Chain A
Amino acid sequence: MKLTVRVRPGSRFTLVEELDDGSYRVAVTAPPERGKANAAVTAALAEHFQVPKSSVQILAGHAAWTKIVEIVQPR
Chain B
Amino acid sequence: MKTTTIRQAVIIPADPEQVYRGFTNPAIHSAMTGGKATGHAEVGAEFTAWDGYITGRYRRLEPHRRIVMDWLTSEWPEGARASRLELTLAPAAGGTRVILTQTHVPADQAPNYQTGWQESYWEPMAAYFKAQASR
Q: Is A13 in contact with B7, judged by CB distance below 8 angstroms?
A: no
Which of B40-48, B57-65, B75-83, B92-100 contacts the other chain?
Answer: B92-100
A48 at the interface (CB under 8 A from B): yes
A29 to chain B, nearest CB (A): 9
State the interface size on chain A (CB cutoff 8 A): 12
User: Which interface residue of B10, B13, B127 has the most chain A CB atoms within 10 A?
Assistant: B10
Bound-complex Cα distance A44 to B13 (A): 14
In the complex the two chains form, is A13's CB within 8 Å of B93's CB? no
> What sequence of 0s and 1s flags, for each residue 1-24 of chain B, a beta carbon within 8 Å of any chain A beta carbon?
000101111111100000000000
Residues of B within 8 A of A44 (CB): 11
Q: Does the CB pair B123–A12 fall under 8 Å?
A: yes
Tell me which of A16-24, A31-39, A55-63, A65-73 binds B: A16-24
Residues 110-126 of chain B, each 1 if its beta carbon lies under 8 Å from chain A, else 0: 10001000100011011
Set of chain A residues within 8 Å of B4, measured between Cβ atoms:
20
In the complex, whether A27 has a CB less than 8 A from a CB of chain B is yes
A14 at the interface (CB under 8 A from B): yes
Is B11 a contact of A14 with CB atoms below 8 Å? yes
**Residues of chain B contacted by A48 (CB below 8 angstroms):** 9
How far, in Å, is B85 (CB) from chain A's closest CB? 15
Cβ contacts under 8 Å, B126 to chain A: 12-13
Contacts of A20 in B (CB 8 A): 4, 110
Interchain nearest-CB distance for A50 vs B (Å): 11
Q: What's the nearest-Cβ distance from chain A to residue B10, in Å?
A: 5
- A47-B93, A48-B9 known; A15-B122 Cβ under 8 A: yes
B8 to chain A, nearest CB (A): 4
A residues with a Cβ closer than 8 A to B are: 12-18, 20, 27, 44, 47-48
7 contacts between A and B (CB under 8 A): A13-B11, A13-B123, A15-B9, A15-B11, A17-B8, A18-B7, A27-B118
